[in-house]
Amino acid sequence: MVSDREDPAVRSVNTGRYLEAKQPATGDSDVMEVPQHRGSGVHRRTKRSASYSSTDEEYTIEVLVAVDNKMQRYHGNALKSYVLTLMSIVSSVYADASIGNSIKIAVSHIMYIHHDLAAQNKSRESGWKGVSATHMLQDFCRLKQTTNFHHDAALILTREQICREPATNNCETLGLAELGTICRPTACAIVQDNGLSASFTIAHELGHVLGMPHDDDTRCQRFRGNPVLDDRIMSRTIDHNTHPWQWSSCSRHILTEYLE
């Protein structure tokens, strides 16, 4: 383990803020399957209100938010404020009663990555539009494990064009995450920054980290009523029928089972 001062390529800001309150990722899949694991390491405390009926626990998810060098160049001095604004929207999404659980999102640190994390994944062949989302996510997951920043999940925001299959120019993906990995070393997600709508992608990808599949996944069939009304935050794609501020009954049930 090294501190941020021991690695000149990384520095962090402890925000000291608990944010209380999707454009969901497009493409065929933004989920990397790993063995299932219960989220028992998430900070929890006794719930003080009866607004949520599915559980008597209140959960705080501490998120390490990393920003790459392209994010720093693009947003400049406004970057910290911008990141906190995104995460405040994410927190509001997780505060919606449709989730059925009392979830608080807290930014534990903002981590600045000064070297080009995507360099080794860029355009190894002519014609590639962007970088491999899978490889960049894996590289970030390895990098954050060399720091001592406490967190339950880690997120990297990038201005790179991330691609599920860069060799075939399959670059419709806005985010990627490992499924059901909260509080594990692989509890990582990557999101492409495209403005404030990136907050909904963040909420979507953190949902995967918390074990939620897509709303049209086979595991959700038993919960689906009206297919249009059930396309919510964990919808595979977004269109005029999607409700990106609310959670589907499937997300609610699977999250509750995952946390129990």
Question: How far is 122 from 175, CA to CA, in rounded Å?
Answer: 17
CB 102 within 8 A of CB 52: yes
205 is catalytic: yes
Question: How far is 99 from 118, CA to CA, in rounded Å?
Answer: 34
Distance between the two ends of the chain, CA-based, in angstroms?
32
* Cross-strand pairs, 238: none
Q: Tell me, what amino acid is at 250?
A: C
Q: What are phi and psi of 194, to 5 degrees?
A: -135, 35
CA 21, chain centre distance (Å) = 17
Residues annotated within a binding site:
204, 208, 214
Rounded to 10°, the helix 198-209/79-94 angle is 60
Residues annotated within a binding site for Zn(2+):
204, 208, 214
How would DSSP label each residue in 244-259? TTS--HHHHHHHHHHH
Closest CA to 187 of 164, 228, 156: 156
Closest CA to 210 of 137, 116, 105: 105
Catalytic residue among 62, 160, 178, 205: 205
Show which residues are catalytic.
205
